[in-house]
Structure 1
Amino acid sequence: MRGLEAASGTLEPVPALERPDLLAAPVLAALKGLPDDAAGACGVVEIDPDLADTAAFCEAYSSPMEASANCVVVAGSRSGEQRLAGCVVLATTRADVNGIVRKRIDVRKASFAPMDLAVELTGMEYGGITPFGLPEDWPVLLDPAVVAAPAVVVGSGIRGSKLIVPGAVLAQLPTAESLEGLGR
């Protein structure tokens, strides 16, 4: 798949929709909901599930860290109401959880959601959580550097594969917002 090679390192991506077995159910549904040209630009690679963590993946498959993007689930509450968001930043940065994210989701204190809660609410495996297929009422907050990237590696909803997608495709997700300063 042209344009995705630099991010995929030694792996050869195939069109994501041709390998539904490598995608969690909510991720597959989200990809099918994209315009055909966007969905067609998304590749998937099968990996060793023990190498799903970003640093291990990049080292094992010669994928550059600056071409990987991490999706973290952030939680906070206001007046007893829990508020959640998916935050996507390049792996070489960290999400500004208690600055930019806290203000955007309008909570007093924001933090990473507990692993069991993130897994339960997303329907994805820990270590494979991705912006594709997050609950419809969550904002998907994107650092502008992710959107500008020609291709980034993100989770596929399972630990046994990774999606490789143009950053601009992430901006087409229904609840996506680009937030300046999200990644620090």
Structure 2
Amino acid sequence: MTFPAFSGVDVLAAEDHPELLASAVSDGLQASGLITQAGVFAIDPEHADTETLTSQFGFSLDDSANCVVIGGKRGGEQRVAACVVLASTRADVNKTAKGMLDVRKASFLSTEQAVADTGMEFGGITPIGVPAVWRILVDSRVVDREAIILGSGVRRSKLVLPGSALAEYPGVEIVEGLANPA
């Protein structure tokens, strides 16, 4: 699998290496048909956090996307969204994301709830394979990238997808201004 921007790592075909993906991520890639466009590379779990990863491999923060999970309540109903933004930016939780969820107050889901609901490891949560009732909000700058590094559902690897492929994932909503400069 060739992703020229990431020539410093051995990007493998995700379909040939499901052991490097959380089962929910592998299932999501298979069900969506995006498995053939996805790459994966192994990392030391200590390098899973974005700042450490970019430093270790010499990537730009624009090469990676962070997935933050937010929630809020409306009429007693919890509304949750996985928000995907470039690592060089910060999700606009208090305005844009809150407005998209149509809640009075939005906040980050607790680590325990995000991990339990997704079946993914903290530090590896990705929009691929999140519960179907969650919204997936993706900042428009993410889909403009030729390829983007995302969590793989586990801390020991990273997923690589063309930005345009992420836009094709079922349920993805492309949002202008979902993120602000860091």
Instruction: Report TM bin, short chain.
Output: over 0.9
Are the equivalent residues in 2 in contact too, given 1:9–1:63 (CA < 8 A)? no
Q: 1:43 aligns with which of 39, 47, 57?
A: 39
SS in 1 for 2:71: strand
The gaps in structure 1 that reach 5 residues or longer are none
SS in 1 for 2:8: coil
The answer to whether residue 134 in structure 2 is matched with residue 138 in structure 1 is yes
Q: 2:114 aligns with which of 112, 115, 118?
A: 118
CA drift at 1:63:
1.8
- 1:152 and 1:51 map into 2 onto residues whose CA distance is 17
CA drift at 1:39:
2.2
The answer to whether residue 80 in structure 2 is matched with residue 81 in structure 1 is no
- 2:8 alignment counterpart: 10
| 1:99-119 residue CA offsets vs partner (Å, 9 max, x unmatched) | 111111110000111111100
Give the fraction of aligned pairs with identical amino acids, expressed as a percent: 46
- 2:104 alignment counterpart: 108
- 1:157 alignment counterpart: 153
Q: Alignment RMSD, CA only?
A: 1.0
Tell me the TM-score normalized by structure 1: 0.95
The gaps in structure 2 that reach 5 residues or longer are none
Larger deviation, residues 55-64 vs 22-31: 55-64
Q: 1:57 aligns with which of 28, 31, 53?
A: 53
| 1:135-171 residue CA offsets vs partner (Å, 9 max, x unmatched) | 0011110000001110010000000000011011111
- CA separation of 1:108/1:57 partners in 2, compared to 1, >3 Å: closer, same or farther? same
- 1:98 alignment counterpart: 94
- 2:4 and 2:66 map into 1 onto residues whose CA distance is 19
- 1:175 alignment counterpart: 171
CA drift at 1:9:
5.2
Are the equivalent residues in 2 in contact too, given 1:5–1:12 (CA < 8 A)? no
Tell me the TM-score normalized by structure 2: 0.96
- 1:41 and 1:31 map into 2 onto residues whose CA distance is 9
List structure 1 segments (4+ residues) > 6 angstroms apart after TM superposition: none
The answer to whether residue 65 in structure 2 is matched with residue 69 in structure 1 is yes
Aligned length: 180
- 2:22 alignment counterpart: 24
CA drift at 1:173:
1.3
